[in-house]
Amino acid sequence: MNTESSRPGTQQEMSFIDHLEALRWHIIRAAIAVVAFATVAFFAKDFLFHDLILGPSRSDFWTYRMFCRFGQWIGAPELCMDKIGFVIQNREMSGQLTMHISTSFTVGLVLGFPYLFWELWRFIKPGLYPHEQANSRGAVFFVSVLFAIGLLFGYYVAAPLSINFLAGYVVDATIENQIDMQSYLSTLTTMSLSCAFVFELPMIVFFLAKAGLITHEIMRMYRKHAIVVILVVAAVITPPDVSAQIIVTIPILLLYELSIHIARVVRRNSTRRLNEQLAQNQGIS
């Protein structure tokens, strides 16, 4: 559906029903994309579960091998995670089938996220003024890239560290960790998606700065408070392991510093544009 007529300042405005109709088609196309990706994931069962989902549960996972190499390089062999101390079990008759369907749908949502956001942006964009559209050029690309980077960080760093810590934590040596598959999936999904959305911080700050709701001065003023919040967020999305929390905290802090720079650039560009408009108005008068 074309929603160009809903742009502010045009002669023809779309009615509320027209907006709902346009939104309906955006949702339908997004749903079709998710179902298509979920279907592909469903039939790629071996790769989906053996290589992707269950990868962090095995000691030959890429992250564990890199930690082992790093430990050998710095002379810290204890970083080698050569054994994952738990067994994954399914305790329900239809558990594996249900897990297969739900996991495929989750993968469909993740793979379809760029298209989902693009459809949402197509619905919102015609309602923006021309200068707002120009200011937000490339939003879909950068949101998708940050989402992908955060997802990879969560999958390859946060999730393996959490799984390894929780699998190796015992209160007594006689207790064997036999983890339900749904619990394992919940940990893996939570870690990965949490990082994916946390990595959207620069884009959130960009739009808030464009709207004039935040500035780099405010972000610098409350940097200490932000560090506390970041530590809390890192503690929530990671297990109570200091090394894992530090590894997750560092990139979030870097994202916050990047966001300060983005807010500064937005402020500088806005000031320059206002000065140019003021000069033009004075020249006309």
Would you put residue 212 in left (φ > 0), alpha (ψ -120 to 50) or beta?
Answer: left
* pLDDT tens, residue by residue, 216-255: 899 999 999 999 999 888 888 777 777 778 888 999 999 9
Q: Is the pLDDT of residue 150 over 90?
A: yes
Closest CA to 195 of 234, 141, 225, 167: 234
| CA 271 to each of CA 215, 263, 267, 274, 278: distance values in angstroms, whole numbers, following the listed order | 12, 12, 6, 5, 10
pTM exceeding 0.75: yes
What is the percent of the chain with per-residue pLDDT over 90, rounded to a whole number?
Answer: 39
Q: Is the pLDDT of residue 4 over 50?
A: no
| SS3 labels along 227-246 | HHHHHHHHHHHCCCCHHHHH
